[in-house]
Chain A
Amino acid sequence: MAVIAFLEIEGGELKKSSQEVAAYASALAKQVGEEGVGVVAEDVSSVPSFGLSKVVKVSSCTDAKACAEALAKIAEEQSASLVVLPHSTFAESVSAILSIKLEASAVTNVIGFPETAGSFVVKKGIYSGKAFTKVTLNGAKKVLTLKKNSFGVGEAGADLTVEANGATGSADSRITVTGEEKAQGDILLPEADLVVSAGRGLKGPENWGMVEDLAKVLGAATACSKPVSDADWRPHHEHVGQTGVKISPNLYIAIGISGSIQHLAGVSSSKTIVVINTDPEAPFFKAADYGIIGDAFEVVPRLVEALK
């Protein structure tokens, strides 16, 4: 019996969200007296254990279908009743297909540890962060995706050598990838612990230099409001909110963003929120932990200096 953790690698290392998945799966495995088994798809020779007892590598996991097939085989081989995945765009697609293959109960964006006495109950955010619900998973098998920054990573533990595993899946031959553009060298927004974000208050794309400076001194990712990406001031994948990326970093700094309910829907689960806005009545201050009422064009450069 085992709990399976699907782990994503970026630049040869476990992504932060996957470290959390590993810690979560191994804590859960311990609680129910099973083994925590990690599954990676990329080439990597060893990973920190985070309490898992082994990590296996599946080959040819090139799309969501192939990955779901390989995971289903491993789940069967290990008689696993539970598969935990990070809540990335890719893993979300994998989880849907996997849940059908395993005839499992599936819940995405789970927050925190489940209740396992009697029924298996998890908590998740609904209405785009405006409420929470508890979900009972009735199926004998279960597939969960874990919301980032909702559990913590704990101790990294000793390195585990990644074992080869024969399980493979076949990619969907009806889909051909013809091109790809990835932000290079930047900190990926969904993975970032610190995020600096700016809105229409910045008046034009030429004023983003100070936002990037602030992000740089902090080691933060950059984000923006919807009107900003709609106007092509910033790339679409930086847009956070109801219809954009949903993030839950430790720190979210909002500069010249009014704090509309749709914007808040994507950022309200950030641990700490700082708002910089000229308007003392900006709704964002009501959702903030720290605020500066002032002109971003003066405040942000001073903040950069103060951080240096």
Chain B
Amino acid sequence: MKILVCITHVPDTTSKISFSGDALNKDGLQFIIGPYDDYALARAIELKEQHGGTVTVLNVGTAETDQIIRKALAIGADDAVRIDAEPTGSFFVAKQIAEYAKDKGFDLILMGRESIDFNGGLVHGMVGELLGLPVVTPVMRMDVDGGKAKMEKEIDGGKQQVEAELPLVAGCQEPIAEWKIPSMRGIMSARSKPLEVIPPVGVDTKVAFSAFEEPAPRKGCTFVDAGNEKELVDLLRNEAKVI
């Protein structure tokens, strides 16, 4: 089985986000594989262990992302591709992935349900539509049996079990697998695994991001003494007017 896992390069979830002008202030930020993508990668490696085959990781990004690509190789991917471009929007990224994947015969194209930087959640759907493949998202369990994937996905207010023919595209989320930590051996072998860097295809991005801002601070916390819950109810009714 040939599996492609698309990963994003995002600030660690504990990061404080700030901007210098119109750019993210990267000083002191640690970058990680997007947590949802990390679930997809972990499941891909488990599926490879069960069924054989290969796991290729793909990232659309500049050279700064090599560090997380090496981490994905250390976790157990066999090879990697970096499409050498700033990921400037969902459509741009989807188009790069689709162009790369169209003639490679992947059985599964997995990625996280959304990136945690721009929170778009569109790329898997777009890739599926561009390649004419079925898309299932957000997937919480996935098993492969013959030419089919059996999956459980989240729906509004519940979950649904679905079966789909391979090849397919899936957006993944927990609890599809547990995040994997690279082993020492994995880290050593990752250094010699192939990482191919290829140029992007020209795409009209269709969107432009600008004018970043941080949320307004809250007005501060009004404390109510324990035992005085009636006062809280009164504040919620008459001051906040939310109940």
A237-B134 contact given A127-B11, A243-B174, A290-B232, CB 8 Å threshold: no
In-complex Cβ contact of A188 among B14, B135, B157 (8 A):
B157
A291 near B222: Cβ-Cβ < 8 Å: yes
In-complex Cβ contact of A189 among B125, B157, B236 (8 A):
B157
CA distance A298 to B210 in the complex (A): 48
- How many residues of A sit at the interface, in one of the four size bands? 35 or more
CA distance A269 to B119 in the complex (A): 15
Residue total for B at the interface (Cβ-Cβ under 8 A)? 78
- Residues of A154-204 at the interface with B, using a CB-CB cut-off of 8 Å, are 172, 174-183, 186, 188-190, 194
A293 contacts which chain B residues (CB < 8 A)?
223, 226
Write the chain B residue with the least CB distance to A106. Answer: B122
Question: How far does the Cβ of A187 sit from chain B's closest Cβ, in whole Å?
Answer: 9
A285 at the interface (CB under 8 A from B): yes
In-complex Cβ contact of A294 among B15, B175, B218, B226 (8 A):
B226
CA distance A303 to B174 in the complex (A): 34
B212 contacts which chain A residues (CB < 8 A)?
126, 131-133
In-complex Cβ contact of B155 among A89, A109, A138 (8 A):
A89
CA distance A183 to B157 in the complex (A): 6
In-complex Cβ contact of A272 among B208, B233, B240 (8 A):
B240
Write the chain B residue with the least CB distance to A288. Answer: B221
B158 near A138: Cβ-Cβ < 8 Å: no
Chain A's interface: helix, strand, loop or mixed, by majority?
mixed
A99-B91 contact given A131-B213, A262-B14, A290-B240, CB 8 Å threshold: yes
A302 at the interface (CB under 8 A from B): yes
B211 near A96: Cβ-Cβ < 8 Å: no
A106 contacts which chain B residues (CB < 8 A)?
90-91, 122, 206-207
A302-B242 contact given A131-B214, A177-B162, CB 8 Å threshold: no
A101 contacts which chain B residues (CB < 8 A)?
129
A99-B210 contact given A299-B226, A303-B233, CB 8 Å threshold: no
Question: How far does the Cβ of A47 sit from chain B's closest Cβ, in whole Å?
Answer: 19
B207 near A137: Cβ-Cβ < 8 Å: yes
B11 contacts which chain A residues (CB < 8 A)?
127
Binding stretch for chain A, among B55-63, B67-75, B163-171: B163-171
B137 at the interface (CB under 8 A from A): yes
A216 at the interface (CB under 8 A from B): no
CA distance A303 to B227 in the complex (A): 9
Write the chain A residue with the least CB distance to B230. Answer: A306
Question: How far does the Cβ of A248 sit from chain B's closest Cβ, in whole Å?
Answer: 12
A77 at the interface (CB under 8 A from B): no
A265 at the interface (CB under 8 A from B): yes
In-complex Cβ contact of A287 among B140, B208, B218, B229 (8 A):
B218
A237 contacts which chain B residues (CB < 8 A)?
154, 157-159
- Residues of B178-220 at the interface with A, using a CB-CB cut-off of 8 Å, are 204-215, 218-219
CA distance A286 to B223 in the complex (A): 11
B121 contacts which chain A residues (CB < 8 A)?
92, 96, 108-109
A97 contacts which chain B residues (CB < 8 A)?
125-126, 128-129, 135
B208 near A138: Cβ-Cβ < 8 Å: yes
B30 at the interface (CB under 8 A from A): no
Question: How far does the Cβ of A265 sit from chain B's closest Cβ, in whole Å?
Answer: 7
In-complex Cβ contact of A218 among B120, B224, B243 (8 A):
B243
CA distance A50 to B15 in the complex (A): 41
CA distance A285 to B229 in the complex (A): 17
B221 near A275: Cβ-Cβ < 8 Å: yes
A272 near B207: Cβ-Cβ < 8 Å: no
CA distance A124 to B213 in the complex (A): 10
B1 at the interface (CB under 8 A from A): no
A104-B206 contact given A178-B163, A290-B224, CB 8 Å threshold: yes
CA distance A237 to B118 in the complex (A): 22
Write the chain A residue with the least CB distance to B138. Answer: A89
A138 near B206: Cβ-Cβ < 8 Å: yes
A180 near B160: Cβ-Cβ < 8 Å: yes
B82 at the interface (CB under 8 A from A): no
Could you write out 9 A-B pairs with CB less than 8 Å apart? A68-B129, A92-B125, A97-B135, A127-B11, A132-B212, A133-B211, A138-B204, A265-B13, A305-B229
The 8 closest A-B pairs by CB, nearest first: A96-B125, A294-B226, A182-B158, A179-B161, A105-B206, A100-B129, A188-B157, A251-B242
Given A97-B128, A109-B119, 15 additional A-B pairs, CB 8 A: A65-B134, A90-B156, A92-B122, A96-B123, A96-B128, A100-B130, A106-B90, A106-B207, A126-B117, A134-B211, A181-B158, A182-B157, A292-B226, A293-B223, A299-B226
Interface residues, chain A, CB within 8 Å of chain B? 64-65, 68, 88-90, 92-93, 95-97, 99-101, 104-109, 124-139, 172, 174-183, 186, 188-190, 194, 218, 230, 236-237, 242-243, 250-251, 261-262, 265, 268-269, 271-275, 285-295, 298-299, 302-303, 305-307
